[in-house]
Amino acid sequence: MLRHRPDCVYISTSRSRLGAIKDISVIALARLRGVPIVNHLHGITFAAFRESLGWLYGSIVDWAYGHIAASIVLHENLIGQYARYAHMKVAVVNNFVDADIASSLKSKSPVAGPINILFMSNMIPEKGIFELIDAVKNLLAQRPGELRLKIAGRFLAGAGLSSKDVEVKLHRGIAGSPDIEYCGFADPRARQALLEWAHVLALPSYMKEEAIPLVVLEGMAAGCYLIVSDFGVLPNLVKDLSAAVVPAKDIFALQGSLAAVLANRKLLSEANTLNPRIAREKYSEAQYVSGVDGIIGEFCKVVSR
């Protein structure tokens, strides 16, 4: 920064007391050099974080963020995260589905046998995984063999449990249920295979930082019927799609949404037609690159290509 003055500085918002020190330092240095700053928010909790800081630290953060030229958010509903900074431009750039995954996903055939449900995310209790397992088990008890659940992801700590505790709880929860399978962590090839296998992508998350989960966009691109919770911006993310929104932590609502798909398989063919089209129109990698590039370019005196 001091030796070679850049045209623009791009940062990703920190939402912790220690992380904010990094932001403040970089912003102060950029201000000293007269360099515009573009900030990118990948979560949904900046406003809540700022309110938690108190007067002194909050005032310092406000001084720093008051010098940010533009902030990028992932959805229209997140523009208000920076409402206190009147001179900051706030722009929406939708997240994206990796171009290689999007182009390689195949259309699904009509469903004749069991309905395949996929949960693919970090294995954190607040992602709703245990509620989903219970909902599937309840339905299997009533309608054996009519649905299958595959689970993929890394075990991480959450809800007062260590990662090992979460792993043990999951394996105990699915023991004795041959139609529920934990597949481990999914590398790109396994991820694609799981998305092609799935008819339904379920993420009933209530995790505080949940913003625009890539797995929901990937499920959209794969033509899956989507089931999400009413938490954060998830309901807005699936608006106008073939999808269901259920109350967070509500096992019986999840069960009801899955039962509705079993009763009306036309929902799956609608998802296979509609959802990939929306994914191509709104969540392509090209629109993401163009959007971020355009905002950075707007504030650079010289844009290097």
pLDDT tens digits, 69-81: 999 999 999 999 9
Same domain, 62 and 106: no
Phi, psi (degrees; rounded to nearest 5) at 280: -65, -40
> Pseudo-torsion of CA 234, 235, 239, 244, nearest 10°?
110
Is the pLDDT at 1 greater than 80? The verdict is no
Spatial contact of 199 and 224, defined as CB atoms under 8 Å apart: yes
Among candidate residues 96, 49, 68, 57, the one with its CA nearest the CA of residue 209: 49
Half-sphere exposure of 173 (CA within 13 A, CB side): 22
For the record, the structure tokens of 179 come out as 């139609």
**Residue 160, domain member (yes or no):** yes
At position 136, the amino acid (one-letter code) is V
Q: Answer yes or no: are the C-beta atoms of 15 and 45 closer than 8 Å.
A: yes
89 and 159 belong to one structural domain = no
CA 23/CA 289 separation, integer angstroms: 23
For the stretch 231-259, pLDDT in tens is 999 999 999 999 999 999 999 999 999 99
Q: What share of the chain is helix, strand, coil (3-state, %, to 5)?
A: 45, 15, 35
Residue 47 has pLDDT above 80, yes or no: yes
The domain containing residue 60 runs over which residues? 9-96+285-299
* DSSP H or E segment with residue 100: helix 99-104
Query: Model's pTM, two decimal places?
Result: 0.90
- C-alpha distance from residue 288 to each of 22, 77, 95, 129, 135 (Å): 26, 18, 6, 29, 36
Could you give the strand order of the β-sheet that contains 200-203, starting from the edge strand earlier in sequence? 180-182, 147-152, 115-120, 200-203, 225-229, 243-246
**Is residue 222 located within the same domain as residue 244?**
yes
Q: How confident is the model at residue 85 (pLDDT cuts 50, 70, 90)?
A: very high
Residue 304 lies in a domain: no
| 44 shares its domain with 109 | no
One domain, residues 273 and 129: yes
Domain check: are 181 and 290 in the same one?
no
Q: pLDDT category, 101, cuts 50, 70, 90? A: confident
**Is 49 in contact with 19 (CB distance < 8 Å)?**
no
Distance CA(218)–CA(194), nearest Å, equals 11
pLDDT at 211: 87
Closest-CA residue to 40 (of 98, 99, 94, 85): 94
Residues 92 and 103 in one domain: no
CATH number at residue 103: 3.40.50.2000
Whether 3 maps to a domain, the answer reads no
Statement: residue 301 has pLDDT above 70 = no
State the angle between helix axes of 266-282 and 214-221 in degrees (0 to 180), rounded to the nearest 10. Answer: 110
2 domain-assigned: no
> Which are the contacts of 215, defined by CB distance < 8 A and separation ≥ 6?
120, 121, 201, 203
Query: Do 235 and 144 belong to one domain?
Result: yes
CB distance 252 to 225 below 8 Å: no
Judge whether 1 lies within some domain. no
Which pLDDT score, from 0 to 100, does residue 4 have? 83
Partners of 70 in beta bridges:
38, 89
Give the number of domains in the chain: 2
